[in-house]
Amino acid sequence: MRPTPSRRPGTGSHGTVAGPPVVTFTSDFGSGSPLVAAMKGVVLAGCPHAVLVDVSHEVPRFDVFAGAFMLFAGTRHFTAGSVHLVVVDPGVGSARRRLALRAGGLYYVGPDNGLFSIVIEEVGLQKAVELAPRSGGAPTFEGRDVFAPAAAALAAGVPLESLGHPTDPPQMLDHKPRVLWIDGFGNLVTNLKPPVRRMRIHNHDITASAGTYAEARPNEPFVYVGSMGYLEVGIREARADRFLGARAGMAIELM
C-alpha cells in the first residue's frame, strides 16, 4: 500500500511530498558510534515512519569546513521537504546558536558554526529559527537532545516556525582558498570554482588541468572540475594528498 503523502508547508505542489519523510545524518562521530544510534532513536520516536539515511559519520573530527562540504554534497539530490541533521560541533554547550532552517526547499538542523555555509551559498536561505536548549538535556550531546527532536518534528510535518523564534542568517565560513576535504581516493576538494586553473599547495605548483582522469598525464597533479562544481586536485591512479603532503584545511595560493 502506498504511504499517504506527508504535509509540510512550502514543499511541492500544495505542500505535499510523496512517500514517507526522509531524515539524513551527517557527523564526525565515526561509523558505528552509539551516538548516531541514539539520535536515530529519538528521530524514530518522534516520527516512526521516517526513512533514515546516513550521509557520512566520517567527517574529520571538529572540521567544520569539511562538514559543510559533505553536508552540501550529500544532501543536494534529496527532494523538497527532506530533513538533514548535521553535528560537527567543537563549540557544543557554548553560546553558539542552535538552528533549524529551510534552504532550497529542504530543512537543515544543527549548530550555528558555519556548517550551513555551502548549502546557503548554493541554494539560498529561506528562513531560520533558533532552537532553545532542552530542559534536562545533556549540554555535551545536543545532537540527541536538541537537534534530533527538531528533525523528528519537521519530518512529522510540524511547521518550522513553531520550533523556535525567527533569527538572523547562520554564520558563514570565510572564503580563503583552502582544501575543504580529501576523498577516499586522495583527491583534494577545494572551495574554489572555475576559472581558476593554477594553484600552489604545500609548496607544490599545480599547473596542469584536465577534464577527466583519463586525460591527465601519469604522476602529475592536475586540476579538474569535480562533480559538485568545485575545483579538485588529483593524480591519475594515485593519491594526490600523499604526493603533495596535503591535508584538509590546508591553505591554497593562487598563481
Q: What is the pLDDT of residue 33?
A: 95
Q: Which fold has domain 179-254?
A: Elongation Factor Tu (Ef-tu); domain 3 (2.40.30)
Cα separation values, 243 from 13, 190, 238, Å:
50, 16, 8
Asked if the 6-166 domain carries CATH number 3.30.70.3290, the reply is: no
Kindly report the pTM of this predicted structure. Answer: 0.90
Strand order in the sheet with 51-56: 51-56, 22-27, 83-87, 106-111, 98-103, 125-130, 165-166
Q: What is the pLDDT of residue 12?
A: 42
Tens of pLDDT, residue by residue, the chain (255 residues)? 333 334 444 444 334 446 899 999 999 999 989 999 999 999 999 999 999 999 999 999 999 999 999 999 999 999 999 999 999 999 998 999 999 999 999 999 999 999 999 999 999 999 999 999 988 899 999 999 999 999 999 999 999 999 999 999 999 999 999 999 999 999 999 999 999 889 999 999 999 999 999 999 999 999 999 999 999 999 999 999 999 999 999 999 999
Grid cell listed for 160:
518550522
User: Cβ contacts of residue 1 below 8 Å, gap of 6+?
Assistant: none
- AA letter at 27: S
Cα–Cα distance for residue pair 71/118, rounded to 1 Å: 8
Grid cell listed for 214:
583519463
Domain boundaries for CATH 3.40.50.10790 within the chain: 6-166
Which residue, chain included where needed, has cell 532542552?
134
Helix, strand, coil share of the chain (percent; to 5)? 25, 30, 50
Which residue, chain included where needed, has cell 577527466?
212
Contact between residue 148 and residue 86 where contact means Cβ atoms under 8 Å apart: no
- Comparing CA positions, the residue from 248, 89, 254, 115 lying closest to residue 177 is 254
Domain boundaries for CATH 2.40.30.90 within the chain: 179-254
Name the burial class of residue 181, with classes exposed (0-12), middle (13-18) and buried (19+) by CB atoms within 10 angstroms of its CB: buried
Q: Strand (E) positions, 112-163?
A: 125-130
